[in-house]
Amino acid sequence: MTSVDMLSYFPDEMVTATLQSGQAGSYVNGVWTPSFAAGVTISIIFPQPVSQEQLQQLPEGERAQNYVQTWTTADINVRDNTTDSDRIVYDGKTYLVYQAEDRLFSGNFKHLILREITADE
């Protein structure tokens, strides 16, 4: 039995975005400076608002941030001990991958929660 790519059923909802893969960052004058690989083009479903239930699961101080959700078949990573979270650039905005839920077992895609990165970050 082969896995079906569920996102192939939504071709009209797919848009092009740029994935910047998180690399090992470093401290510069005591401030963490993330590092990212050059961007590659990926397809995502048009970013949509997160639900009230999804907002409630976020840490209290972060609920005022601009979060969106999307789906993709691209290989996406969140922060671990050695690298920063990936970033996705779409429609002139840059988003940090806050959460990536692997749904390869039920349709060969990942559900992403993205946080918009503001100019002062």
Which of the four pLDDT bands, split at 50, 70 and 90, describes residue 41?
very high
First to last CA, the chain: 46
Q: Report pLDDT for 19.
A: 94
Residue 44: Cβ-neighbour burial (10 angstroms; 0-12, 13-18, 19+): buried
Higher pLDDT, 119 or 32: 32
Q: Which domains does the chain have, with CATH numbers?
A: 14-24+32-116 (2.40.10)
Res 109: pLDDT = 86
Q: What is the pTM of this model?
A: 0.79
